[in-house]
Amino acid sequence: MSVNTDRYESAAARYFEAWNASEPEALKKAVAAAWTTDGGYTDPLADVRGHEGIAAVIAAAHAQFPGFVFRPLGAVDGHHDTARFGWELVNEADGSAPVAGFDVVTLDDEGRIRQVLGFLDRVPAGA
């Protein structure tokens, strides 16, 4: 059970705000608000550091899945400087969620993300 749930929930909320920002300037601001300057993002398909790299991964996801949004799946859980949460990539038109996974994030003292380790639990063939 999390001791400081607000910290973890706030970090996850900023994370989802970044992943759902579709305009370049909004994406840039959301990534800067969520991640440390040298923050990283690693999943089976990407391994990047810094705001530009992270924004590029998010923009690529939007290009591959237009009309989709990332939504939390379940509660955010955390301890010390680490949090974990599940997510789904949801089609806004029909509610289908072809992609799902969970992420483990490490936070700095201000609650910004230092590192994301992402895991994909459900991915459509050919994605």
E strand intervals along 53-124: 68-79, 82-91, 99-107, 113-122
Task: Report residue 97's pLDDT band, with 50, 70 and 90 as the boundaries.
Answer: very high
Q: pLDDT by residue (tens digit) across 60-77?
A: 999 999 999 999 999 999
Q: pLDDT by residue (tens digit) across 79-90?
A: 999 999 999 999
Token couple for 70: 């990332």
